[in-house]
Chains A and B, each alone.
Chain A
């Protein structure tokens, strides 16, 4: 008789699988990195191009790029499994909590890298400083968006129609991260209220998606 695999080990296994899929196809990297680079350059032209005009919109540009990246990333959450007909098998093998945690961590890593890339480009091209609180906003905001990406990605992956609905679901739901993240990335703005909003938002979204995730896995 075999021992049941602990949920943590299952989550690690799911995460390792996600990393292996990414290493094999570079799907998230190829999807988001060129998009973010193009977005920041085009935003610089649209909002600027003088540095005096670009500095005030630097934080917002970063978060708009990150929020926009959630749509293609959500589409990829279960794409590999659906393509190779292993989605049902994976749902049967891994507990919902482990599946959520593994997928969430993978999405968080992708979004955190997206945020870091967008921030780096904004610092370089917009000549805008990054206040320390922006790191807090970046960490928590990308975590909250990763939870949304995972939840809505699984929801749409199981559907047979209206896949384009993903953008209409993810983008509005990410509004608080956009707002609080932008304010935390703007020098001179009071930190506490926006840090509180970001913390509450991340905690609420994580709890809500965690609670409904098993339901999304059902046929």
Chain B
């Protein structure tokens, strides 16, 4: 059967962290799977603007899906990251409180115990300061959760998809599902702007912000949802010692509050805010910045905001107070996940496990495969110099530094262009190996990257985009239009 008419066991709609985890789990269990992503890359919507924390699980309401998948996800993460060859740092997290809120730390601790979270400890100020010297002066105690970790959220997402692809799965980007038809046994999934049709026996809806729309395509129930925007401030690496682990204020109804978060790569970020929004609005706002700046000092000393290199925002979707992970009652073999907000990143592998179990219960026959391991991206400049030397002897392009801030070579960019998902945009390359992510934010290296993508793809530089269609960086050759039309 030709690739075009292939009937996949499972069609996964949506390539965020949940969709990629589901896709990955299905492939690893020996079933054929195809992942359809509307954007130009996986993890390019909510997942990329995530705090990157693998939560311990003390926060969710006991017995909720959030609590169950959080705990299970947390257990799965370390071995999953090892298998995927992506970094995870088990630094723990800290919730801090002032004198007035001391008993709330105890409540959180108790809830954690109910949720069966291991490694929780209440610490007093002296002990806290040993862990985190930059706490605010009025912090008296805190809850340390030793099982929590940090990861690079989009890289985990990309790695899950890549592992799926090198083990036989298929990912199509820029595929905006516009219709899903169910025949006798087979789903027909289409993007009406493309000629390609996708066929599958099972469909899993992991479309995040658009999950209700995908449900509506099969007349499945829609859920009340709320979109919540979270803004962040990112500082450069000179501030890498500001905190050693994510620091939370006490959680409130609105969410987990404004955190101070170290990133795996040595930056520190502050956020997210929690503002209701009505569409996928990732704009940053003066109010949001002000909120971050005024709230962060309740937990930590005043950060050096002069070192800000980037403001960004993401939108997460909430549905009631818990995740929705269901199978359709109307349409057999259709499954959906809705409202996967925090702790969704942590829960993703557990949600995937749940979905896989549901599918298997409904007749999907699986046989785990012998896995081909995913190769990690370069990071060559973190290697001992002798290793780097060998690499350069083998491939001189590894010695040509393109991004001076994040130390990324031409060779590593070519490797990224050659990687399993075939990233073709400046942002997709950035998420993989970080050129343009440093202090100069691409002021020096972005032109070079545009040229490299154009040469690699044999296209014009003006056809290279920042993040997919209609985000072209250049408009064409010099000396066109304007005064030349006079």
Chains A and B form a bound pair = no
